[in-house]
Structure 1
């Protein structure tokens, strides 16, 4: 059962909502516009804030729903919950439908953490909102949110595996944001 749930998590995570919504809303391929990323921030740039908000919600749901299902079918198995959450996140970052070229995983990680470590997810979302409002840079907000989520998870996670997952997701987000980090260090990152 766990193998099937992991596969389901990956396939759910790999649904490219950014591509689908932007094609529906504007008739364009988001990968050829703006930063080329399929995530909510670039969708908002390319297709408007409503489309970006829709993608944010859908990308969070595709992380949350497989984990919720796993919690129902395998209660008391935190390693299973973590495995499915990680699979959904990796599905978003490396979707089979887009030749393994996906998004940065922030919204999907948010969905996973909302289910497993809700205080960490809420702390991350709050920090993201403040940093983006002040600095007007989504990448800086995302990275700051990741730090807040990891720290909060260390103190609030119901199982150590959940806190570990929070750190692992943040490590992957550092990798998916490597170009943004370079631009942040050079002070050339795009504001909005």
Structure 2
């Protein structure tokens, strides 16, 4: 039996951890800018790399990844894999739709990877490998992000007997895909930026 006195506070806490945006914080500290008003307008690694450089982008990526790892580990400790995953997905929701930033956040890729590395590290690493292959071949980070992230729930469907985990992983994949809806439109129209394109 799940203890709601533990589950509800942990999920709420996880959501607000997701609200913490390294890209916004670092952008303000380094350049005194709101990263969401520059480049693509997204508070994520790719836009930070374009606007503030690769070193800052990598720092943001690692911090966003850790932001997924910590709540998932806490949930895992207090309630097992399902609670770990629920806390992780709450963090991703908080990252994509942050209340403290007027619901204008990032796309959740790095944070989702952090959650995946806690819940099913082998599957997460396979997704990361597929991401890398797609980006190298197509130069589209968004396409690699979408397919790499969707790899995780697909692997869960074929390897996991726990239907709750399957459902949660599918929701996670749908969330990240939804956050890339504008990228998907540009991919279809042939106007999506590639790696190495001039800053826009």
Is the shorter-chain TM-score for this pair beyond 0.5, marking a shared fold?
Answer: yes
Q: TM-score, normalised by structure 2?
A: 0.89
Alignment RMSD? 1.5
Give deviations 1:61-100, integer Å, cap 9, x for gaps. 111101101111223xx43223211110100011111111
Q: TM-score, normalised by structure 1?
A: 0.92
Partner of 1:174: 177
Partner of 1:28: 33
Question: How far, CA to CA, are the matches of 1:59 and 1:158 in structure 2?
Answer: 29
Q: Which moved more, 1:91-100 or 1:154-163?
A: 154-163
Is the 1:22–1:51 contact (alpha carbons within 8 Å) kept by the matching residues of 2? no
Is the 1:119–1:153 contact (alpha carbons within 8 Å) kept by the matching residues of 2? no
Q: How many residue pairs were aligned?
A: 190
Distance 1:183 1:144, change over 3 A: same
Is the 1:124–1:145 contact (alpha carbons within 8 Å) kept by the matching residues of 2? yes
Distance 1:119 1:95, change over 3 A: same
Distance 1:149 1:119, change over 3 A: same
Q: Tell me how far 1:188 sits from its aligned partner.
A: 0.9
Q: Which moved more, 1:17-26 or 1:42-51?
A: 17-26
Q: Does 1:19 align with 2:18?
A: no
Partner of 1:103: 106
State which of 76, 79, 87 in structure 1 corresponds to 2:82. Answer: 79
Is the 1:89–1:109 contact (alpha carbons within 8 Å) kept by the matching residues of 2? yes
Partner of 1:54: 59
Give deviations 1:115-168, integer Å, cap 9, x for gaps. 111122101111111111121111111111023222222244474433322211
Unaligned runs of 5+ in 1: none
Unaligned runs of 5+ in 2: 1-5, 196-200
Q: Secondary structure at the match of 2:39?
A: coil
State which of 136, 140, 145 in structure 2 corresponds to 1:137. Answer: 140
State which of 165, 187, 190 in structure 1 corresponds to 2:190. Answer: 187
Partner of 2:73: 68
Is the 2:77–2:84 contact (alpha carbons within 8 Å) kept by the matching residues of 1? no
Task: Please list every run of at least 4 consecutive aligned residues from structure 1 whose deviation after the TM superposition is greater than 6 angstroms.
Answer: none
State which of 148, 153, 167 in structure 2 corresponds to 1:150. Answer: 153
State which of 114, 118, 124 in structure 2 corresponds to 1:115. Answer: 118
